[in-house]
């Protein structure tokens, strides 16, 4: 009986890998889209440098969020 309760507790505290994987896919897509947008804006001579800097910062935040979610998908291993 206690083993069943422990198993339930472990499952309830585990991250939801499906929702994490879905969020990860969305963030990767947004990161790729920003990369393409920034590349296109660099080709335009009269592009707004401040807007490009803001897009680059957003892209870096997305990269950090992606790394964080990827680390949640990797199970912790006891050393």
Report pLDDT digits (tens) over 12-63: 344 567 888 899 999 999 999 999 999 999 999 899 999 999 999 999 999 9
**Is residue 4, in this structure, part of any structural domain at all?**
no
The domain tally of the chain equals 1
Domain that holds residue 49: 17-73
**73 neighbors 17 (Cβ within 8 angstroms):** yes
**Which of 74, 66, 6 minimizes the C-alpha distance to 31?**
66
Here the contacts of 48-57 (C-beta below 8 Å, separation 24 or greater) are none
Q: Say what the pLDDT of residue 79 is.
A: 57
pTM as predicted: 0.70
Q: Say what the pLDDT of residue 17 is.
A: 74
**Is residue 12, in this structure, part of any structural domain at all?**
no
**Is residue 5, in this structure, part of any structural domain at all?**
no
**Is residue 31, in this structure, part of any structural domain at all?**
yes
**Is residue 68, in this structure, part of any structural domain at all?**
yes
**For residue 9, what pLDDT band results from cuts at 50, 70 and 90?**
very low
């Amino acid at each position: 009986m206690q083993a069943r309760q422990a198993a339930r507790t472990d499952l309830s505290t585990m991250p939801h890998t499906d929702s994490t994987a879905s969020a990860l896919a969305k963030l990767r897509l947004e990161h790729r889209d920003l990369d393409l947008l920034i590349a296109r804006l660099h080709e335009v001579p009269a592009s707004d440098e401040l807007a490009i800097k803001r897009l680059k910062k957003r892209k870096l935040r997305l990269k950090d969020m992606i790394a964080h979610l990827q680390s949640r998908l990797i199970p912790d291993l006891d050393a």
